[in-house]
């Protein structure tokens, strides 16, 4: 879909606004600020970069909260450099490089592109966060930030980042305290950790290395050196992972070894017809175990579960930790019925294993998706996808059960359903994002539903939330009547965090409201103007990380 439609809407909106303003004797400066702020974000997103640039220059001389009166003659003169009113009235279309910019709706299937390393920055320095996040994301990395230690610790366990950057001075705790709490786990998974600070004391450097961090980085950073450093550390991490086939925590095989053995079993099936079955196992409500009893107790559960499976499986069965609380069993010379029998034995053993905590003992269960190899699924990714669909069906059917994949499984039910909610008072932005995501097909594993609201009051007063669903909310930061930050506060106060991702849409950079949004519980922020395809990739990365 070309951008011409949205450019026409953009110019029509300007024309109507100017007509409304002319019907009044004057406007307040804050009204002019809000309107130009909207124009800046929208224009750059639909290919009108020159308009966005000029608007941004004008915004620098305005105050968001000013009640200064602007008569018609004054505001018309002020905006004259931005546009020719006659041209806008005539719906003149400005094209980027004299050509139509296309908004595509690609089906995202390139897992290597979307599995780009995930970087976590724990820092309350707004300028550093925005600059570094933008720098890394332009290189294709996924970046999440935490502005305090508590959220940073939660993200380390929930998102399993590939690199962690921690500032020393945080509002709720010292960065060195975070380092001491995560170092053991980080070393087991080869996660590089860097302490970063503008307080470049020798004592800080010494303490960084004594505590076990890989590096100390002094602010301000040199962007070229910083990017080279990140690439270097992540490449080294990947090389280490390639050398190791045992998961350090559970002492079972890791994902790398699983993929090697799966490929070998497929080749053996092609050559000799040797059947095998793949099982994906996932601990039920594992995040609740971490949240309720702590991550150390969660690690204990993973270790005990791995020991039970190892004891129950045959010697030549291949048991691997696939990621987080998800495991894969490869069962050579086995049918799906054999896998079901094994799952029942594991289920019974796990049911007899209590876990002790300060609040008494508790038990855990698991769900499993089973798929046997045949000529129609003779590809590793296909087998894993079908096994994952069966696993998801088992979860949706009540958990604590094993389901064998079969074509009669309702595909919609076997997909993860995610509702994308767009809350933005700019009709043009809402329309563009809704049209895009309504026909968006990120992968066969997800069903996407899209709804939109023109302001925060309509959104909060609607019956949008259902406890069994997952949500990705794209929330505008500046809206009339109820500010985006207030909407965010209400979301985090009244609804379950684990079901809802919130990404703030903002036209501001380097301002305190960004840090406020992160403190209130925003998972990400997207700066206007934005490219719709890049927004889609970032949304999908977050969905995969948090909702898988």
Cα–Cα separations (whole angstroms), residue 349 to 122, 278, 310, 345, 389: 41, 21, 12, 6, 25
Residues 6+ apart with CB under 8 A from 312: 342, 345, 346, 349
Helix (H, G, I), strand (E, B), or coil: what is residue 45?
helix
CA distances from residue 38 to 139, 190, 231, 512, 541 in whole angstroms, order as listed:
28, 44, 37, 18, 27
Rounded to 10 degrees, the C-alpha dihedral 468/473/478/483 comes to 10
- Measured distance CA(387)–CA(404) in Å, rounded: 8
**Collapsed DSSP state (helix, strand, coil) of residue 318:** strand
Residues 6 or more apart whose Cβ sits within 8 Å of residue 397: 403
List the beta bridge partners of residue 420: 450, 472
In b/e form, how buried is each residue of 114-140, taking b as 16+ CB within 10 angstroms?
bebbbbbbbbbbbebbbbbbebbbeee
Backbone phi, psi, residue 199, to 5°: -90, 80
290 SS3 class: helix
Which regions of 148-192 does DSSP assign to beta strands (E)? 163-167
Per-residue tokens: 170: 């945080």
The rounded distance, in Å, linking the Cα atoms of 520 and 378 is 47
Residue 291 sits at the vertex; the CA angle it makes with 344 and 502, to the nearest 5 degrees, is 110
Structure tokens at 238: 């990947």
Active site residue 325: yes
Structure tokens at 153: 């610790």
CB 280 within 8 Å of CB 258: no
35 with 18: CB under 8 angstroms?
Answer: no
Cis-peptide into 220, omega within 30 deg: yes
Give me the catalytic one of 25, 325, 326, 396: 325
218 in helix, strand or coil? strand
- Residue 538 CB partners (closer than 8 Å, separation 6+): 137, 142, 503, 524, 526
The rounded Cα 180 to chain-centroid distance in angstroms is 26
What angle do helix axes 29-45 and 49-59 make, rounded to 10 degrees? 150
H helix runs in 273-407, sequence order: 286-293, 295-312, 336-351, 380-396
Number of H helices, E strands in the chain: 21, 19
The set of catalytic residues is 325
């Amino acid at each position: 879909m070309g951008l011409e439609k949205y450019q026409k809407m953009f110019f029509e909106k300007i024309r109507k606004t100017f007509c409304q303003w002319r019907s009044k004797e004057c406007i307040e400066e804050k009204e002019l600020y809000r309107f130009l702020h909207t124009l800046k974000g929208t224009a750059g997103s639909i290919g009108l970069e020159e308009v966005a640039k000029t608007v941004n220059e004008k915004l620098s001389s305005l105050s968001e909260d000013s009640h200064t009166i602007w008569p018609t003659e004054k505001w018309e003169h002020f905006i004259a450099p931005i546009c020719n009113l006659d041209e806008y009235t005539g719906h003149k279309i400005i094209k980027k490089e004299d050509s139509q910019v296309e908004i595509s709706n690609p089906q995202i299937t390139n897992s290597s592109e979307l599995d780009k390393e995930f970087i976590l920055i724990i820092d309350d320095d707004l300028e550093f966060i925005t600059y570094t996040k933008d720098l890394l994301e332009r290189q294709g990395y996924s970046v999440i930030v935490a502005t305090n230690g508590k959220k940073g610790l939660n993200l380390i366990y929930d998102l399993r980042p590939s690199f962690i950057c921690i500032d020393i001075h945080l509002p709720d705790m010292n960065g060195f305290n975070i380092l001491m709490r995560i170092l053991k786990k980080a070393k087991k998974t080869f996660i590089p950790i860097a302490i970063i600070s503008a307080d470049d004391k020798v004592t800080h450097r010494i303490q960084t290395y004594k505590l076990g961090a890989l590096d100390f980085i002094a602010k301000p950073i040199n962007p070229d050196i910083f990017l080279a450093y990140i690439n270097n550390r992540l490449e080294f991490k990947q090389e280490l992972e390639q050398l190791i086939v045992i998961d350090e925590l559970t002492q079972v095989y890791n994902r790398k070894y699983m993929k090697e053995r799966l490929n070998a079993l497929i080749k053996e099936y092609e050559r000799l017809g040797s059947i095998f079955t793949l099982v994906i196992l996932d601990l039920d409500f594992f995040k609740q175990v971490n949240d309720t009893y702590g991550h150390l107790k969660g690690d204990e559960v993973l270790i005990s579960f791995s020991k039970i499976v190892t004891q129950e499986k045959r010697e030549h069965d291949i048991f691997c930790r696939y990621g987080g609380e998800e495991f894969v069993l490869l069962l050579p010379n086995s049918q799906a019925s054999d896998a079901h029998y094994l799952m029942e034995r594991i289920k019974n053993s796990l049911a007899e294993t209590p876990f002790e905590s300060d609040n008494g003992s508790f038990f855990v269960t698991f769900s499993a998706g089973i798929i046997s190899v045949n000529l129609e699924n003779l590809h590793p990714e296909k087998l894993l996808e079908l096994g994952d669909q069966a696993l998801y069906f088992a979860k949706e059917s009540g958990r604590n059960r094993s389901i064998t994949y079969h074509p009669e499984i309702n595909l919609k039910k076997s997909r993860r359903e995610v509702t994308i909610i767009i809350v933005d008072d700019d009709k043009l932005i809402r329309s563009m994002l809704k049209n895009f995501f309504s026909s968006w097909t990120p992968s066969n594993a997800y069903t996407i539903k899209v709804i939109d609201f023109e302001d925060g009051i309509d959104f909060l007063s609607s019956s949008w939330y259902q406890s069994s669903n997952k949500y990705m909310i794209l929330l505008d930061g500046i809206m009339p009547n109820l500010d985006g930050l207030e909407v965010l506060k209400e979301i985090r106060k009244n609804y379950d965090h684990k079901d809802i991702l919130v990404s703030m849409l903002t036209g501001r950079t380097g301002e305190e409201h960004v840090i406020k949004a992160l403190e209130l519980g925003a998972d990400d922020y997207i700066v206007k103007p934005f490219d719709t395809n890049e927004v889609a990739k970032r949304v999908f990365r977050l969905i995969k990380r948090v909702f898988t």
